[in-house]
Amino acid sequence: MEQSFEDLIRIRDRYALEERKMYINYATKLNSLTDEALRNNYVKQFGDACLQDIVGQMIRSFLPSADMYVTADQIMKRVVTFSYKVDYDPLKEQGAVRTLAYNYDEISGIAEFVNNPDFITKLKLDRGIYAGKSRSSLSDYRKKVLVDKKTNTVVDELTGYVRPDQIQEGNNGRTTASLEGDHKVPISEAAVNEEFTRNIDAYIAELERIYNDKDNIWYIDEKANNIKGDISNPEDVIKAWETAKPEQKEVLRQRGYLDENGKVPEHIKSKLREGVESSRKNINVDIDKAQLRNLDVRAVGKHGLKKTAAAIPKMAIGQLLYYMLPPIVYETKCIIISSKEKKLDPESIVAKLEKAVRRIMDYTMHHVGAMFANLAHNTAKNFVRTVFDLVIALLKSFLRHFVRIAKTVVLSVLDSIRIITQENSSTAEKADSITNLFVLALTNVLIEIAAEYLELYGVPSVVMEAVQVLVSVVASNMVFILMEKLDLFDVRYGFKITKLEQILADISKEYDTQYIELRDRTQEEIDVIKNEIRQQISEIQKNMEERDFYNEDVIEDVERINHLFDMNIGFQKEWETFILSPIQ
Amino acid sequence: MSIKDIAKNTWKALLEAPKKIVGAVEHGAKHFVREDTRLQNIDKYKDIVKQYEQQLDKSKEIVNRQIRKYNDTIPLINQKRRADFRDILEELYRFLLQLGKLAQNKWDFSFEMTRAEELGFLEERSLTDYKAWIMPYEKTESQVFDEVAKGLIIGYRIENGKWNEEIEKKCKEIRFATEGVQKKYASIAQQWQDRTFIAATYLECIELIHETITERIIPELELISAFLLAESVKNNIIANIPIENAKPLDISAIKGTIYGRHYTFVKNAFQFYILSRQIYQSPILTRLTQAEQSTSIYSNDKLLITQQKELLQQQSDVLCADIMR
């Protein structure tokens, strides 16, 4: 059947329809891809990050690899996923920021070093004028215990027991009074770390002043004080009173220090404990301040260097392991697999080995620069850590927490410097990592400090450690995710927009290609039809000119025209109607 | 410059300084809450919508050009049909009437239709939609100040971030739609080009037919008429029938005889008559190209979009079910 214009139109219409469908398909695809690119799957990110970190933290807590400055799980991942083309290098990755922050608060084992008994000297300090008996002219005594000047009535600071002050001359020439001044934190505890303190005489004088401060003195019954002696621990004091000789216990009972059952009453117990504890806290602060003022910085530095130098071999091993282990494992895997597959003989295996070794050496040499940079950086960090840890170990009060925070900040600064000098990220990305680093590190150290306080309530430390790991990880990840959301430097926003551009470019290209293919294909079909029709027309034209109408029926030609233009003429029927009727 | 001038200038600079500092702080704050990015994006969006509009205009012009070409051909066709074909119809009719049964010579002429030029149709709706879409994202200075003053700086920053993403996404959508528009109207222009080809060919054909009839059929008619009459008279004389009422010879009778060639000619003339009549009466071209059906192509768009929407709904339901699991 010859072609007609209807065919032409049909093909063209069909093409228009297909083209429309194609557009709608691609527009829909564009839509869903952009939606996906913009979607933030925080929940999944959070879960994944937490899991990864918990594993890492467990290893960190129970495997002492912090000194090597690469964690075991990082090495694991690097080794397992290594290939020359795809090289997982956590030392370069941004996500490693989190792991860095976790590592800052680690104490490097220097504490035991500081508490080396060789360094510490116990002191015998002068008890000062507050203790002992002479008191009537002392304003402090008068303020605290004197109730009635006229009758010389005094109140016992521990029991609250009021009675007149009795001064007696003892048989050994000692004068005793009802109340005696007692150091809450015993002065016999005073000690100095000669290694790390300078101006020792001035320091000792400080200590004297601190221990004999009126806030560290209270006035208690002379008998009780006698029995107590130099015991400082409240629990031991209570025991001493409760297990005293019977006649002494009688006196204590009279003076209110024991009840009828021979036990120390609750209110005295708690006052005792609180008093000693709060005084100890205050004293520690003052001692720490004195220590810091008289810190022998040179000694601290010297020891820090010594320890760091000792750590360098370990760090170097860490670096070598980090760079050489993965390719070794990878090459071994390849050789084993290929020797199994191809059933190689020993000679070819050896040849492969030679090539493998060469590749490994090439790879390692390529990264020597990175190794030395890492080593230098890690040495600096080790030194900072050691020095700060020394100072932290020397302090006893909450002041040491400030030093911990300072240590975290300094270590963050060191790592920030490294991040800034790395070439492979944009400024916004660097600013981003640095901010994350500081925020995370501070979060972490604050959580550790909080954990310490919790520990004072008597939770076993093993449990505490696990809890702390979990809380640390969860909090850090939440902070991390929040930082991502805040996106303070618009890094993630920038990534998203770039992704959108990419998607549009890809889809446009695909759409264009498909469209052109469809259009050209259709055009070919249509051209064929057009040519065929033109041919028909010229044939008809020829016939119209040449046919002998007396001898040739033009039915063929008019039918062609009929079909071509879809005229719906029934020539046969019309003719029959015409001739079969009688002539009028 | 006198000291007075120097003092004056210094005083002026001092007064300016706070403004500059405030300006710098403001600039920094604006950047932090992503205000400036949003304003940039709004400008970018408006640019892209303008480009979309320009593409629409361009495409409209391309299609209209083709339509004009088509429309130019139609009057020629109509003219030919109306005037010239009428004449030959009458001649052929007179001839054929003597020889067989014909319907009455009431031929109703109908015009071949032109196509009006098109306006921005479906796309105009989308254009207004696009223009309106950006409006909620444009906030006045005072609204911005209110937000920031409330102290919800971080929240506002996050909001702006979301808005920026949405605007970017819409920009991509419109850019893609611009390409789609260009291609869609390219194919529509092609359709009109095809129709012009058909029209030109039709004109060629009817000119050919007219020429053939005029030059090769009609001149013969009188001769054949006369011949057939003469034969009839001859036969009447032979059969002794009065010749006054002689009619031309029955056509079917002479088929197959030595006068068969007249039969053929009459048949051809008849076929040409029928053809011409159809050309005269029927708007063949219009029916063929469906020129008066204005919504055939566009209605398909609506259908397609509805189908696509249903398909997407199905897909999203399946995905939701997956996530639940």
- The sign of the torsion formed by the CA atoms of B53, B58, B62, B67 equals positive
- CA dist list (Å): B73 to A86, A209, A533, B69: 67, 117, 19, 7
Q: Closest Cα of chain A to B16: distance in Å?
A: 31
A524 in reach of chain B (CB within 8 A) = no
Tell me the H-state helices in A230-366: 234-242, 246-254, 266-293, 297-342, 346-366
Q: How far apart are CA A511 and CA A489, in angstroms?
A: 35
Determine the pLDDT at residue A94. 45
Give SS3 for A367. Answer: coil
Of B157, B165, B284, the CB nearest to A567: B284
Contact B100 A34 (CB under 8 A): no
Of A553, A577, A583, the CB nearest to B268: A553
Q: Provide the 8-state DSSP code for A176.
A: E
Contact A578 B173 (CB under 8 A): no
Q: Which of A292-306, B17-31, B198-212 has the highest mean pLDDT?
A: B198-212
Report the b/e string of A489-517 with b at 16+ CB within 10 A: bbbbbeebbeebeebbeebbeebeebbee
> In chain A, pLDDT over 90 holds for what percent of residues?
6
What type of residue sits at position A416?
S
- CA dist list (Å): A307 to A110, A117, A197, A390, B58: 9, 19, 19, 11, 78
Q: pLDDT band at residue B254, thresholds of 50, 70 and 90?
A: low
Tell me the H-state helices in A491-580: 491-546, 555-564, 571-579
Contact A28 B183 (CB under 8 A): no
Chain B residues closer than 8 Å to A526 by CB: 194
DSSP B189-246: HHHHHHHHHHHHHHHHHHHHHHHHIIIIIHHHHHHHHHHHHHHHHHHHHHTT--STT-
Q: In Å, how far from its chain's centre is CA A139?
A: 56
Q: How far apart are CA A410 and CA A385, in angstroms?
A: 9
Element (H, E) at A218: strand A217-221
Measured in degrees and rounded to the nearest 5, phi and psi for residue A121 equal -115, 130
User: Is residue B111 scored above 60 in pLDDT?
Assistant: yes
Q: Closest Cα of chain A to B8: distance in Å?
A: 42
Q: Across residues B162-182, what is the average pLDDT? A: 90
Assigned token pair, B270: 């008849």
Q: How far apart are CA A159 and CA A452, in angstroms?
A: 33
User: Is residue B293 scored above 60 in pLDDT?
Assistant: no
Which segments within A50-202 are labelled E, that is strand? 120-122, 146-148, 153-155, 162-164, 168-169, 175-176, 179-183, 191-193
| β-sheet bridge partners, residue A573 | none
Q: How far apart are CA B80 and CA B78, in angstroms?
A: 5
Q: Across residues B203-213, what is the average pLDDT? A: 92
| Low-confidence residues in chain A, pLDDT < 50 | 59, 62-68, 94-95, 133-134, 136-137, 582-584
- CA dist list (Å): A393 to A66, A293, A396: 19, 15, 7
A518 in reach of chain B (CB within 8 A) = no
Q: pLDDT band at residue B207, thresholds of 50, 70 and 90?
A: very high
| Residues A182 and A141: beta-carbon distance below 8 Å | no
Q: Which of A163, A327, A156, A166 is nearest to A225 (CA)?
A: A156
Q: Across residues B267-281, what is the average pLDDT? A: 91
Contact B247 A583 (CB under 8 A): yes
Measured in degrees and rounded to the nearest 5, phi and psi for residue A132 equal 80, -165
Residue A337 Rama label (left phi>0; alpha psi -120 to 50; beta): alpha
Q: Provide the 8-state DSSP code for B81.
A: I
Q: How far apart are CA A224 and CA A182, in angstroms?
A: 10
A492 in reach of chain B (CB within 8 A) = no
Contact A561 B169 (CB under 8 A): no
Contact A578 B308 (CB under 8 A): no
Q: In Å, how far from its chain's centre is CA A133?
A: 58
CA-CA-CA-CA torsion for A277, A278, A282, A287, nearest 10 degrees? -10
Q: Which ipTM score applies to this complex? A: 0.74
Q: Which of A131-145, A155-169, B73-87, B304-318 has the highest mean pLDDT?
A: B73-87
| Residues B253 and B228: beta-carbon distance below 8 Å | no
Q: Which of B158, B163, B126, B149 is nearest to B39 (CA)?
A: B163
| β-sheet bridge partners, residue A295 | A197
Residue with the bigger pLDDT between B83 and B31: it is B83
CB atoms within 10 A of CB A482: 12
Chain A residues closer than 8 Å to B318 by CB: none
A505 in reach of chain B (CB within 8 A) = no
- CA dist list (Å): B281 to A59, B96, B115, B198: 95, 19, 20, 19
The edge-to-edge listing of strands for the beta sheet with A153-155 is A146-148, A153-155, A162-164
Element (H, E) at A373: helix A368-394
Q: How far apart are CA A529 and CA A103, in angstroms?
A: 77
User: Is residue B252 scored above 60 in pLDDT?
Assistant: yes
| Residues A270 and A276: beta-carbon distance below 8 Å | no
Q: pLDDT band at residue B299, thresholds of 50, 70 and 90?
A: very low
Residue A553 Rama label (left phi>0; alpha psi -120 to 50; beta): beta
A240-249, B3-12, B22-31, B306-315: range with lowest mean pLDDT: B306-315
| Residues A19 and B162: beta-carbon distance below 8 Å | no
Residue with the bigger pLDDT between A72 and B136: it is B136
Average pLDDT, chain B: 80
What type of residue sits at position A346?
P
| Residues B73 and B260: beta-carbon distance below 8 Å | no
Report the b/e string of A317-331 with b at 16+ CB within 10 A: ebbebbbbebbbebb
Determine the pLDDT at residue A416. 77
Determine the pLDDT at residue A457. 64
Which one of A561, A562, A571, A584 makes the best mutation probe of the B interface by having the most chain B beta carbons within 10 Å?
A561
Determine the pLDDT at residue A210. 87
Q: How far apart are CA A391 and CA A294, in angstroms?
A: 12
Determine the pLDDT at residue A250. 86
Chain B residues closer than 8 Å to A584 by CB: 101
Contact A575 B308 (CB under 8 A): no
DSSP B289-315: HTTT--SHHHHHHHHHHHHHHHHHHHH
Determine the pLDDT at residue A528. 92
Residue with the bigger pLDDT between B127 and B26: it is B127
Determine the pLDDT at residue B240. 78
Interface of A with B in 200-239 (CB under 8 A): none
Q: How far apart are CA A93 and CA B282, in angstroms?
A: 79
CB atoms within 10 A of CB A473: 24
**Chain B residue closest to A25 (CA)?**
B308
Give SS3 for A82. Answer: coil
Report the b/e string of A158-171 with b at 16+ CB within 10 A: bbebebebeeeeee
CB atoms within 10 A of CB A181: 29
Residue with the bigger pLDDT between B28 and A519: it is A519
